[in-house]
Amino acid sequence: MSGTDPNSIAGLLDDDAIELLVVHCSDTPDDQPLRARDIQAMHLGFGWDGIGYHRVIGRDGLCEPGRPEYWRGAHVRGVNDRSLGVCLIGRHDFTAAQMNSLATLLAEWQQRYPQARIVGHRDAVETHKTCPNFDAAAWWRRRRTRDAGTSMTVCVPSLPIRRDPSDRASLDTEALYGETVEVIERAGLYTQVRLQTDSYEGWVRSDGRLHPCIPPTHRIAVASIHALSAPDVKSPALLRLSLGGLVSVCDTTGDWHAITLPDAGTGYVPTHAVMPVESQEADFVGVAERLIGTPYLWGGRSAAGVDCSALLQLALQAAGIACPRDSGPQFEWARTRIGTSTVVPSQARRGDLAFWPGHVGIFQSVDRFLHANAHHHAVASEAASDALPRTDAASQAPATILRLGVDQPD
Selected catalytic residue, list 24, 75, 218, 359: 24
Short-list 349, 348, 354, CA closest to 330? 354
Residue 308 among the catalytic residues: no
Selected catalytic residue, list 43, 54, 75, 121: 121
> Are the C-beta atoms of residues 90 and 49 closer than 8 Å to each other?
no
Selected catalytic residue, list 25, 63, 87, 131: 131
Short-list 91, 71, 93, CA closest to 15? 71
Length of the chain: 410
The torsion of the CA quartet 195, 280, 330, 367, rounded to 10 degrees, works out to -140
Residue 371 among the catalytic residues: no
DSSP class of 167: T
> Residue 300: what are its φ and ψ, rounded to 5°?
-75, 150
Find the helix or strand (DSSP H, E) in which 343 lies.
strand 341-343
Short-list 243, 209, 198, CA closest to 224? 243
Residue 113 among the catalytic residues: no
- Alpha carbon distance 278, 280 (integer Å): 7
Residue 121 among the catalytic residues: yes
- Alpha carbon distance 86, 64 (integer Å): 10
Can you say how many angstroms the Cα of residue 120 is from the centroid of all Cα atoms in its chain? Answer: 30
Selected catalytic residue, list 25, 53, 113, 296: 53
Selected catalytic residue, list 129, 211, 375, 376: 129
DSSP class of 168: T
Residue 87 among the catalytic residues: no
Query: Which amino acid would we find at residue 29?
Result: P
> How crowded is residue 126: how many other Cβ atoms within 10 Å of its Cβ?
7
Query: Which amino acid would we find at residue 323?
Result: C
Which residues are known to be catalytic? 24, 53, 121, 129, 131
